[in-house]
Amino acid sequence: MKKLLYFGLFVIIGLAFSYIPINQIVGSDKYFSFFELSGPTVGAFLGGFAGALSVLIVKLLYTLFDGKSFDLVTFVRLFPMVFAALYFSTRSVRRDSFSKLISKSSTLSKRLKTLVSLSGVIIPVICIVLFVIHPEGRQAFLFSAFWLIPIIASFQKRSLILRSLGATFTAHAIGSVTFLYAFGLPAPVWNSLIPVVILERGLFTVGIAAFYMASNTAFAFMTQFVSLKGLSLDKKYLFWRP
């Protein structure tokens, strides 16, 4: 019952954060919202699947409340934050992860967990391939090199900064490929965005890490007065110890 309450609370908070703009998306009249910073962290508190599902519900509700037409582009744009939350919640990829995935002795449950963990590698690889096979993307292939970051960071998720960096670039990869195929932005635009992306995603990385630590600290403080059983907290990432 408590987990359901937490789930609903994160959906409500996430929806509220979705209406707080922080930066305009280059090449669009849309804005990044504060949810870009809070959304990826939800999986760490609720668990990977529950966190990803809550993010998906937030994006669906925001789309409905905002009166947007539900076309293919809108549908695909639901998922950058979903996979960012999944990325942030999973552990580091181990060297034997790929062998576990294909091992005959692995159960379906273990294979599924391994596949989710490997999604931090698989999703960016797919995005890189989709980007460079597009005529415009092929001419701006260096832009897709950004998505090597979540692949590398997948092996070092013990670092909060690397986990945050990987999460924001996972969302960036899916969002960029969607924009490329939906709007066909020319290669010079993608190349000109490289310095913008460095600054933007650097700020997002710091924002995600700071939001996670602030939330983690607040929840840890609350445990002195109420039970938060069912909510995953990490004592390593506190601004101060209550």
Is the pLDDT reported for residue 242 higher than 70? no
Is the pLDDT reported for residue 126 higher than 90? yes
Task: Give the mean pLDDT of 170-188.
Answer: 91
Pairing of strands 21-24, 31-33: antiparallel
Q: How far is CA 209 from the centre of its chain?
A: 12
What backbone phi and psi angles, to 5 degrees, belong to 24? -80, 140
Distance between CA atoms of residues 83 and 48, nearest Å: 10
Distance between CA atoms of residues 50 and 217, nearest Å: 21
Residues 84, 40: contact at Cβ < 8 Å?
yes
In the 3-class helix/strand/coil scheme, how is 90-149 assigned residue by residue? CCCCCCCHHHHHHCCCCCHHHHHHHHHHHHHHHHHHHHHHHHHCCHHHHCCHHHHHHHHH
Distance between CA atoms of residues 211 and 16, nearest Å: 15
Check residue 78 and give its pLDDT.
83
This prediction's pTM? 0.87
Distance between CA atoms of residues 112 and 168, nearest Å: 23
Task: Give the mean pLDDT of 70-78.
Answer: 74
**How large a percentage of the chain has pLDDT more than 90?**
50
Is the pLDDT reported for residue 104 higher than 80? no
Q: How far is CA 130 from the centre of its chain?
A: 19
Domain boundaries of the chain, sorted by first residue: 2-222
Q: For the segment 201-231, what is each residue's pLDDT rounded down to a tens digit?
A: 999 999 999 999 999 999 989 888 888 887 8
Q: How far is CA 214 from the centre of its chain?
A: 18
Is the pLDDT reported for residue 65 higher than 90? no
Q: What is the mean pLDDT of the chain?
A: 86
Exposure letters 32-60 (e unless 16+ CB within 10 A, then b): bbbbbbbbbbbbbbbbbebbbbbbbbbbe
Task: Give the mean pLDDT of 2-7.
Answer: 85
Check residue 64 and give its pLDDT.
87
DSSP labels, 184-198 = ---HHHHHHTHHHHH
Residues 79, 203: contact at Cβ < 8 Å?
no
Read off the pLDDT band of 119 (50, 70, 90): confident
2-222: which CATH architecture?
Orthogonal Bundle (1.10)
